[in-house]
Amino acid sequence: MALEKWLGEGGSWGREETKPALLRIPRKLIWEWIDGDMENRAWHFAYRLVPKTHSPEEWRASLVRSFLVRYGSHKEVRSGLMSNYLSGVWHGPPSLHYQAIRDKLLRIKDIEDDENAIRWIDEFAGGLETQVEQERMYEEREP
């Protein structure tokens, strides 16, 4: 687990200026490792390792986009990546948190042309829309 944190988003140890260690590994080596046991490693990479990218400006060159282009045709990969994007800590109403993620994804979709990436965005944004509605109903009932 500590190695996964170091490789993935935890590699910055909370410092914005430090990129995850995984981004220093040539993608060719990453793909070779995943392809060595694609059934298990692609899902694990999606769920636990690939750093999130929320910015349309960074999206086209991002590791997560390259990963989706290569492995996003697999439903379990898309599902694992959704779980990855939902992990973390936030403050405030859950509806606003999920809505912010959805809005960022939709901005990314505007510049995306890959079928696998678009499929993942559509599935994820649709699920987030449902989650936003459910959370708003719950928040309205809270005293």
Query: Structural domain of residue 96, as residue ranges?
Result: 2-141
Q: Total domain count for the chain?
A: 1
Over the stretch 20-43, which tens digit does the pLDDT of each residue have? Answer: 788 899 999 999 999 999 999 999
- Which amino acid, residue 94? P
- pTM beyond 0.75: the answer is yes
The span from the CA of 48 to the CA of 138, in Å, is: 29
Over the stretch 50-74, which tens digit does the pLDDT of each residue have? Answer: 999 989 999 999 999 999 999 999 9
The closest of 118, 124, 107, 123 to 55, measured between CA atoms, is 107
| Encoded tokens for 76 | 């379990």
Burial of 55 per CB tally in 10 Å (0-12, 13-18, 19+):
exposed
